[in-house]
Amino acid sequence: MREKIVELLSNMNEVELEQMVRLIEAKKRTYHQPLAFLLEVMRFRHVPQEVESFLYEMQIGDELLNRYGIVHGGVITTFIDTAMAETAFALDGELKKAVTINLTVNFVKQALVGSLKCQVTPTQNSYRLALFTALVSDESGDVVATATGHFYKSAHQSISQS
């Protein structure tokens, strides 16, 4: 297996190799941070700001495009879902678990390579439930998608049964 990996890596340029290193490091982090690999693939990050909503950004590379050369709708949905869950954690420091109850996404415009921003606004935040709205925009500021989502919150992390 190592020989196969070395062979595949030998044909990559420096930028691709740097990306592979980041992905390998993220894969190793998944033992302690379950979404680390996914977050690295999306190049997901929180953008601090001083308003009552939360801003997140992701970078779109060729690996996230569908066969038509546009961002796959599932990628945008995952971006929104992740941003909303991260907002739930940011709102409640004791939160151990945030699970999506429902998520409705409306696609407005196709997205291409570049960056996307997701502005998440909490509209309800009770002890167990949170409701968020989101607006995803591209580098030009054009709206790509809108969404609403309900999340179940818990201060306890359940142990999965296998």
Higher pLDDT pick, 159 / 75: 75
- CB-CB contact of 134 with 116 (8 Å): no
Residue 122 lies in a domain: yes
Asked whether residue 64 falls in the same domain as residue 30, the answer is no
Residue 162 lies in a domain: no
Tell me the CATH number at 105: 3.10.129.10
Query: Which tens digit of pLDDT belongs to each residue from 122-139?
Result: 999 888 899 999 999 999
Q: Is the pLDDT of residue 17 over 90?
A: no
Return the residue matching tokens 């998608």.
145
Asked whether residue 114 falls in the same domain as residue 53, the answer is yes
Query: Which tens digit of pLDDT belongs to each residue from 67-121?
Result: 999 999 999 999 999 999 989 988 887 777 889 999 999 999 999 889 999 999 9
Cα-Cα end-to-end distance for the chain: 29
Expressed as residue numbers, the domain containing 32 is 1-41
Asked whether residue 67 falls in the same domain as residue 10, the answer is no
Number of domains in the chain: 2
Distance, CA of 139 to CA of 141 (rounded, Å): 5
